[in-house]
Amino acid sequence: MTPIVFVLTTRFPLARPRLMRSIAVHGTAFLLLSVAHCWVADAIGSPLAYRPAGYQGGSLTLRFLEEIYSDIWMYWPLVCIRALIDSHAKARQRETRAVRLEALLATSRLA
């Protein structure tokens, strides 16, 4: 589901002025993708690590509680990695723009 996370992070970057909206979108997406991950794991019959004795609830709920921590460590680092990639790209664009402006200024001074 990594491509989905990257698309969401591109569409809703963790940056101002819409930081709170992006956090809300990513929080919701994280929960939905975590449920989807648990549903797929349950559908293919992946074994649960622990099933309490006498547990009568559904395996999807138990799997969600079991997997949420590892899903946190899958989703949020991807968001941060994408934010770092975007930040680096913007910094390079600013540097390129500054070099062009300096060249234009030097050309103007010579003229």
Written as one string, the DSSP assignment of 57-83 is S-HHHHHHHHHHHHHHHHHHHHHHHHH
Give the mean model confidence (pLDDT) for residues 14-26: 92
Domain that residue 64 falls in: 2-110
pLDDT digits (tens, 9 = 90+) for 63-96: 998 899 999 999 999 999 999 999 999 999 999 9
**How many percent of the chain have pLDDT more than 90?**
68
Under 8 Å between Cβ of 49 and 66: yes
Total number of domains in the chain? 1
